[in-house]
A and B are shown apart, each in its own frame.
Chain A
């Protein structure tokens, strides 16, 4: 087998890039179920898509069920309370994220068969006790004036 070693030291900075930037405006089409879901958020209500054949409830709602490939039926209310299935405490500043540290949780709303991502607020991080979050009960808390956006709510632990 042949080996090609780069001819220059790759740690060097003596080369330049031609700078470029994408200017591509995109307009994403939400599914019917998501449109209804976001309308529900404006009323401070969490909705899931019901798979009528199996009773499975999907949050965030989709127009089809990934397990049965059946079209989902109407939306049903879930939560606002639920159970944390997993989590991470984000310590790095990512391009699309808030200032760290921030705790991201996946919560199974009561009445739902899936877990949904969101931020956990009002929780005091105690090193060594992080894993106690898994299985913990929490609830969705809404902003005062929801706009119909995933960021309209966050989670807080049940008291």
Chain B
């Protein structure tokens, strides 16, 4: 079995709007930047996977009509992944699997998002819900996160200000990230006083609506650029949770509220990567968290701290950029969240940290190992990856 390595990465600074790009432009530009970053010949790419938003947000114009012949690997298209915010990491996992199976030597994964092309993003994503029982209530990303946050606050006696500690940490980290959409630090008080969206989730607790693009070249050989340590994909895990989120909210089956589904995906990834003690074996983590509560549940489900303690620990400085296990040193999805790219960006940011190429946001890694996650649907489908240098 071949070992899959990340040998090239590229991302575009996230913005609300990217008016100079079409989807096809974005894919082409980011693809060739990645090839250049890897230092390989485009002709040597023998696999291509597209990571794109769900059809209702992408629009009727689908990638198969774009004419992708100009993209590296276009003679070897492996498919399109559109698993909402898990798309990027799922596509990366599939590229690694293709390499590991010996079916290709270099697979390019390309993601693009033009969020402002859909006037009503919430409405478009709402089309993904059950037409008989879920569209009749306002069950969307914000209200789903709020339902998780309410239960978490009640179970662990967490205050609104402690809940805000995630956003304060991440916005502070985002200041140093040249690719972040939001680069202004905020205080807990500012979060707590921002408009209430859906109690207890306030506006500053919500990831912004973002356009962006990202790409990764996966190879069966290690890094080609001088000075780069080979970064390999050491393990993956995935878990597709319940269709109806309410079916996992009751005593004895509360995985929607306590993160147990993500823990199941993490267990797969840790086993594959040989991780036995994540608190001491992980150097940094880039965790998908469009809302603060998602990061809290994720930190705990990934075994980085006991259940119910993440909020207070972050408020006390743990998981910050200078802590033993920094979480989202890039600022994470809090500072920019292009739907199909965000999972790839988690991988890119982790790779940059492992390469020592993260610029102002570079942290000192205690271990040469990084953890990445992405979540899809109403936060019930999970992807986990472990990268190692």
Contact = CB atoms under 8 A, between A and B. Distances in A.
Contact of A4 (B29, B126, B142, B201): B29
Given A3-B13, A60-B133, A94-B122, A89 B198 contact: yes
A52 to B, nearest CB: 18
Contacts of B246: 85, 106, 114-117
A89 B199 contact: yes
Nearest to B139: A117
Contacts of A89: 196, 198-199
A38 B133 CA distance: 10
Interface residues of B, number: 67
Contacts of A98: 138
Nearest to A151: B136
A53 interface: no
Contact of A5 (B9, B13, B132, B143): B13
A118 B129 CA distance: 15
Interface stretch (B14-22, B90-98, B317-325): B14-22
Contacts of B36: 2
B136 A149 contact: yes
Contacts of B247: 58, 66, 113-115
A15 B10 contact: no
B249 A85 contact: yes
B33 A114 contact: no
Given A3-B179, A4-B29, A113-B250, A118 B150 contact: no
A108 interface: yes
A1 B9 contact: yes
A118 B137 contact: yes
B195 interface: yes
B198 A115 contact: no
A7 B19 CA distance: 9
B151 interface: yes
Nearest to B197: A92
A131 B142 CA distance: 18
A15 B117 CA distance: 12
A97 interface: yes
A8 B20 contact: yes
Contact of A88 (B9, B150, B178, B257): B150
Contacts of B178: 3
Interface residues of A, number: 56
A124 interface: no
Interface string B255-273: 0010000000000000000
B13 A131 contact: no
A98 B20 CA distance: 37
Given A91-B197, A104-B143, A134-B150, A28 B137 contact: no
Most buried by B among A96, A134, A151: A96
B19 A12 contact: yes
Given A8-B20, A86-B257, A1 B357 contact: yes
B352 A1 contact: yes
A10 B147 contact: no
Contacts of B16: 10
Most buried by B among A34, A38, A90, A98: A90
A95 B122 contact: yes
Contacts of A123: none
A94 B133 CA distance: 17
A62 B246 CA distance: 13
A66 B242 contact: yes
Interface in B249-299: 249-250, 253-254, 257
Nearest to B211: A10
Pairs of residues from A and B, 9 with the lowest C-beta to C-beta distance, nearest first: A88-B146, A97-B138, A115-B246, A89-B199, A114-B247, A150-B136, A95-B123, A10-B15, A86-B151
Interface of A: 1-8, 10-12, 15, 17, 20, 22, 26, 28, 30, 34, 38, 58, 60, 62, 66, 85-92, 94-98, 102, 104, 106, 108, 113-119, 130-131, 133-135, 149-151
24 contacts: A3-B13, A3-B178, A4-B10, A6-B12, A6-B19, A11-B17, A28-B132, A58-B247, A60-B132, A85-B151, A86-B147, A88-B149, A88-B201, A89-B196, A89-B198, A90-B143, A91-B199, A95-B120, A95-B122, A96-B126, A102-B138, A115-B247, A115-B249, A117-B133
